[in-house]
Amino acid sequence: MCWAQQWPTKAIHIVVNGPPGGSVDVVTRLVGTYLSQRLGSPVVVENKSGGSGLIGVREVLHAPADGGSFLASLDGVLTQVPHSVKVDFDPLKDLTPVVDLFSNGWMLVSNDTVPARNLADAVAWIKSQPQGVNYGSFSAGTISHLLGEQMAKTMGLRMNHVPFRGGADAMQAVIGGYVNLLFSGVFQALPHIKSGKITALGFTGPERSPFLPDVPTFKELGHPDLTAVSWIGIWARKDVPTALQERLHKEVAQILTLPAVREKIEAIGTNPAQPRSSAELARQMAADYQRAGAILRAAGVQPPQ
């Protein structure tokens, strides 16, 4: 415990495996500012996006296991992506979830190529298309891909997957009419929904988004299988001393109780976590990994050999 109390002895680096300005980046920088104040040491947030989020993962796995480097990531990068992209690590054995930061549901959006303002009419139109329709994803194996496959399966639709290099590219593709549909984060989709460029058809959260209260959940619409919430957290290499992981968990959990922090997280359309233990997160991660693998294998998706 003495070692954990003396930690950190140098700057802490938190690698965000997504682009600047995204919800993971915004919340990590917010938490990092408070963490630096509490620990009396610099907290440096670095963006290492690309490769379906795996570039950032490898950055942390190749760093020393001295409590100086951590990963901030969407859970799906570790529980979903490895089922479609060949990886050189085991996400369940090589990394430990330290603390969760926030969670969010996903909004199904369409553009003017879909002549519908609600899910029922959109589904009817999709069924009328002999070649099906195209839906975009942030990249193969991500939550936006997984939800598209789940929607096609549960509703009996022909939906063709078109992967892009990140959420920004996928959003531009649906706005530009290159794909018909996209499961997007609320934070990313909201300004384009308000401007009328895209239409919100359904929300995967257990309750309606407070930012779009008129958009029903998929459960309300009779599709409970499309209820899905992603969580975002901080991971460490498995061999980072447990005492350091526990110290980080304690500090971040206390930061997330601060009203100013919770208000800023809620302001971008996400739900601040009430942090679970590392063991609870590990169990959730393992369950999510198995579920994602089953859905993607059923859709014929697998990593290249």
**Structural domains in the chain?**
6-103+230-298 (3.40.190.150), 106-226 (3.40.190.10)
How far apart, in Å, are the Cα atoms of 298 and each of 19, 113, 153, 291? 30, 28, 9, 11
Name residues whose C-beta falls within 8 Å of residue 75's C-beta, 6 or more positions apart in sequence: 230, 231, 232, 233, 284, 285, 288
pLDDT recorded at residue 73: 97
Mean pLDDT computed over every residue of the chain: 93
Helix or strand (DSSP H, E) at 144: helix 143-155
Q: pTM of the full predicted structure? A: 0.89
More confident residue, 97 or 303: 97
pLDDT over 70 for what percent of the chain? 98
Interatomic CA distance for residues 151 and 109, integer angstroms: 13
pLDDT recorded at residue 3: 55
Q: What angle do CA 27, 79, 73 make, to 5 degrees?
A: 20
pLDDT recorded at residue 2: 52
Q: pLDDT (tens digit, 9 = 90+) per residue, 168-195?
A: 899 999 999 999 999 999 989 999 999 9
Mean per-residue pLDDT, 15-42: 94
Mean per-residue pLDDT, 4-13: 83
pLDDT(1) > 50: no
Q: pLDDT (tens digit, 9 = 90+) per residue, 200-254?
A: 999 999 999 999 999 999 999 999 999 999 999 999 999 999 999 999 999 999 9
Interatomic CA distance for residues 163 and 169, integer angstroms: 9
Quick one: pLDDT band at residue 22, thresholds 50, 70, 90? confident
Helices 242-255 and 23-39 cross at an angle (nearest 10°) of 110
pLDDT recorded at residue 160: 96
> Prior bond to 19 cis, omega within 30?
no
pLDDT recorded at residue 4: 61
Nearest partner of 281 among 235, 229, 226, 227, judged by Cα:
235
Q: pLDDT (tens digit, 9 = 90+) per residue, 97-140?
A: 999 999 999 999 999 999 999 999 999 999 999 999 999 998 88
Q: Which two tokens stand for residue 128?
A: 């009328």
pLDDT recorded at residue 64: 93
